[in-house]
Amino acid sequence: MNDVLDSLTGQAAALAEGSETPISLAERALDRAERKADLNAFVALDSPIVLDQARAAAERRLRNAPRSLIDGIPIAVKDNFLTRDYPTTACSGALPWEAGGQDATIVSRLRDAGAIIFGKTNMHEWAYGATNSTSSFGPTRNPHDPSRITGGSSGGSGAAVASGIVAAALGSDTGGSVRIPAAACGIYGFKPSYGRASRHGVLALSWSLDAPGPLTRNLPDIQLLLPYFFGKDPKDVTTANSKELGPMPRKVEPRLLRLYGKGLECTSEVEKAISGALATSPCSLENCEITSVSSYFAAWETILHCEASSYHASQPANKRSGYSPVTQAHLEAGEQITAVEYLHAQSIRAHFMTVLLKELPAWDALVLPTLPVVAPRQGEDWQLFGGRKVTTQDSMTWFCWLGNLAGLPCVTLPVANPGGDMPVGMMLMGRPGRDEELLAIACRVQEQLKEYGSVE
């Protein structure tokens, strides 16, 4: 399955040397999408739209005038990013939010660079869940085992990249929605620091937690895509201080801090995989307990529910009537939370950031498993680990919400799983705004993992 054409960098090289054309790449992706239709990764994909873009890119390549390295490369887009050429539905039974007409800022930047906006990927309805089991288009299936879920909410993007349909896809992440499907499907996912990536045109879930991010087959591909995410966007005030992607600074010996404590348990299978990966790490490693995890988690959930209910309160009733009962119930619950409770959650959040950024021993990256379990089977309501019985939903966001609550850049990379056949992801979290440093540390850990020879 590890074809050189599965990665962006591989496709870019093939285009540059002429062994592939934008049209051959587009046809390859369309063909694969058709053959892997059972994964239910795409909710909108139109061959003529794809081929039109491919032909335009091919012309530019023929004239030796490509707009960028990724000119002519297909990229899939989660169905909560507005796109000029496809409707955007957030996989809700509601009317499409937008029937087309404008692109999200990131989509527009990629399109300007010549990327082929390939199609819209399946997602958990309104991104309000992490299993991808609730979608008006039905659940996605995990390419490693179709009887298992992809995780979500960017599950279609995870399946599309992990199955080799496209080399890269866009996702959004409020409590792990990029990292969860990336880990569950055995690929890479990156959530930028809060406020670093433009959210204009990405339908909101919880505006103080949301961040868009890429899912890819390797780390260099993330680096190739981040310039289209970063930098000021006049249409998104939260990016007012966002810097363009800078050089990746290399620390002599990055300090990794592995967090543990009550509320941070995982299965022994996952524990073994993470410990094995860390044993190969070239970085200094310390273990550190954090307490009150359940109170921080409750703060994240409160903020999420209040902001989601606030956002959806402004939706017209005819759209809201199409939401699934579980999304309706979430929103109604969020409407009951008082402002004092919301503000209390924000104060817990501020305390959490102080703990992470000022009170822990000095660190360059925090380490956790991305998920406490491997991808659950479709229809499983509960997961058992660490002596707990946890809903499948909560087990998906188990570790990931920490990065959203604190606004940290986060990356998940696949590590070897000596105890099973399903992928395991390791998560590294960096200091706010230092996305480049995090990526540099991840590359360093990754090189060592390759030498160790344990990642497929």
Q: Compare residues 27 and 341 and give the one whose CB is closer to a second copy.
A: 341
Stretch that binds a second copy, among 15-23, 301-309, 316-324, 428-436 (CB under 8 A): 301-309
Closest distance of CB 340 from a second copy, Å: 5
Closest distance of CB 344 from a second copy, Å: 6
Which amino acid is it at 27?
Answer: E
140 near 40, Cβ under 8 Å? yes
8-state DSSP, 80: T
Question: Is 136 assigned a catalytic role?
Answer: no
433 binds a second copy (CB under 8 A): no
**Per annotation, catalytic residue among 7, 92, 153, 309:** 153
136 binds a second copy (CB under 8 A): no
Q: Specify the DSSP element, H or E, that contains 189.
A: strand 188-191
**Per annotation, catalytic residue among 36, 78, 120, 191:** 78
Q: What does the per-residue mask of binding to a second copy show for 343-362, with x meaning CB under 8 A?
A: xx--x---------------
Q: What does the per-residue mask of binding to a second copy show for 75-114, with x meaning CB under 8 A?
A: ----------------------------------------
Bridge partners (DSSP) listed for residue 233: 236
335 binds a second copy (CB under 8 A): yes
**Per annotation, catalytic residue among 108, 135, 157, 177:** 177
Rounded to the nearest 10°, the torsion over CA 213, 73, 75, 114 is 80
Residues in CB range of 249: below 8 A, 6 or more apart: 436, 437, 440
23 binds a second copy (CB under 8 A): no
- Does the CA dihedral 248-252-253-257 come out positive or negative? negative
Residue in the block written with tokens 């579980």 = 326
Number of shown-chain residues binding a second copy (CB under 8 A):
18
How far is it, in rounded angstroms, from Cα 314 to Cα 249?
Answer: 43
Stretch that binds a second copy, among 107-115, 176-184, 341-349, 401-409 (CB under 8 A): 341-349
Closest distance of CB 294 from a second copy, Å: 20
393 near 153, Cβ under 8 Å? no
Residues in CB range of 201: below 8 A, 6 or more apart: 81, 82, 102, 103, 104, 105, 106, 107, 108, 235
275 binds a second copy (CB under 8 A): no
Q: Which residues are catalytic?
A: 78, 153, 177
Interface ranges with a second copy (CB under 8 A): 302, 306-307, 309-310, 313, 334-344, 347
